[in-house]
């Protein structure tokens, strides 16, 4: 990129940077939730999102940042799947959250245990099942959007989601029977 007489980048590059920053601010929380749901305790979701942002930033001039949600979501999912394909990392404990004044300790413990069991079950799903299920259930994406994000066909996405749900139900059956 060329510089103007004052040593600054042209206005178009500044606009791209501003649009990129706005997109990051607008979508960060949602992207972090997606990364957390896909990688679970295998890696730090913050690192996944940060790496995705760095990759996008390096090539920011290639994209239209006015409608960046899909691009950013796709990049985070791809980075999360890349991380899952690497050798297993050490597991870090997950925060249980703060007790609110209206929650009893036993209710909080039971809810925390249920969340932990679901997360563990999701982590044990094959990566394609996990990614498709997370995008469907947590992101409320259509089959077509999921297929585009994961680079698969719509029938394949439907199969992954169906099989992922079935495997989750089987894994959680024993826990559900205990409560």
At 109-119, the pLDDT tens digits run 556 677 778 88
Distance CA 146, CA 137 (A): 11
Q: 69 with 120, same domain?
A: no
61 lies in the same domain as 123:
no
Supply the CATH number for residue 166's domain: 1.10.10.10
Inter-CA distances, 154 with 128, 134, 144, 148, 150, Å: 13, 16, 6, 9, 10
Least confidently predicted of 12-21, 43-52, 84-93, 128-137: 84-93
**110 & 166 share domain:** yes
Residue 77: how many CB atoms within 10 A of its CB? Answer: 25
- Is the pLDDT at 49 greater than 90? The verdict is yes
Q: Examine the domain organization and report whether 78 and 134 are in the same domain.
A: no
- Mean per-residue pLDDT, 82-95: 58
118 and 149 share one domain? yes
Q: Within a domain: residue 165?
A: yes
- Total structural domains in the chain? 2
47/105: higher pLDDT: 47
Residue 35 counted as domain residue: yes
Rounded mean pLDDT, 37-49 = 84
Position 6 pLDDT exceeds 50: no
Asked, for residue 148, whether it belongs to a domain, the answer is: yes
In a domain, 139, yes or no: yes
Q: Look at residue 172 and tell me whether its pLDDT is greater than 80.
A: yes
What is the span of the domain harbouring residue 31?
11-84
Question: Is residue 114 domain-shared with residue 68, that is, in the same domain?
Answer: no
Same domain, 54 and 112: no
DSSP conformation class of 27:
H
Calculate mean pLDDT across residues 115-129.
85
Q: Encode 33-55: b = buried (16+ Cβ within 10 Å), e = exposed.
A: bbbbbbbbbbbebeebbebbbee
* Lowest-confidence pick of 49-63, 96-110, 125-139: 96-110
User: Are residue 110 and residue 174 in the same domain, yes or no?
Assistant: yes
Say if 160 falls within a structural domain: yes
What is the predicted pLDDT for the residue at 96? 46
- What is the pLDDT of the chain when averaged over all its residues? 79
Q: 3 lies in a domain?
A: no
| Cα–Cα distance, 9 to 83 (Å, whole number) | 35
Residue 162 and residue 115 share a domain: yes
pLDDT recorded at residue 91 = 44
Could you tell me if residue 96 is inside a domain?
no
In a domain, 93, yes or no: no
CA-wise closest residue to 34 among 64, 96, 79, 68: 79
What's the confidence (pLDDT) of residue 143? 94
* Better-scored residue on pLDDT, 41 or 163: 163
Final residue in a domain of this structure, among 24, 50, 84: 84
∠23-25-28 over CA atoms, to 5°?
95
Nearest C-alpha neighbor of 38 from the set 140, 112, 133, 116: 133
Instruction: Say if residue 106 is exposed, middle or buried (CB neighbours under 10 Å; 0-12, 13-18, 19+).
Output: exposed
| 50 and 109 assigned to the same domain | no
């Amino acid at each position: 990129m060329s510089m103007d007489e004052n040593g600054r980048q042209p206005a178009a590059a500044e606009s791209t940077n501003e649009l990129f920053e706005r997109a990051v601010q607008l979508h960060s929380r949602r992207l972090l939730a997606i990364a957390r749901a896909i990688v679970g305790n295998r890696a730090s979701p913050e690192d996944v999102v940060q790496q995705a942002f760095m990759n996008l930033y390096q090539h920011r001039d290639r994209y239209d940042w006015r409608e960046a949600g899909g691009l950013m979501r796709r990049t985070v999912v791809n980075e999360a799947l890349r991380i899952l394909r690497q050798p297993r990392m050490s597991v870090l404990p997950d925060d249980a959250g703060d007790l609110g004044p209206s929650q009893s300790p036993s209710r909080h413990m039971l809810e925390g245990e249920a969340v932990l069991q679901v997360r563990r079950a999701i982590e044990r799903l094959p990566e394609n099942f996990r990614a498709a299920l997370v995008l469907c259930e947590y992101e409320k994406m259509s089959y077509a959007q999921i297929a585009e994000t994961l680079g698969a066909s719509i029938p394949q996405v439907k199969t992954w989601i169906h099989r992922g749900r079935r495997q989750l139900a089987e894994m959680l059956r024993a826990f559900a029977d205990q409560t």
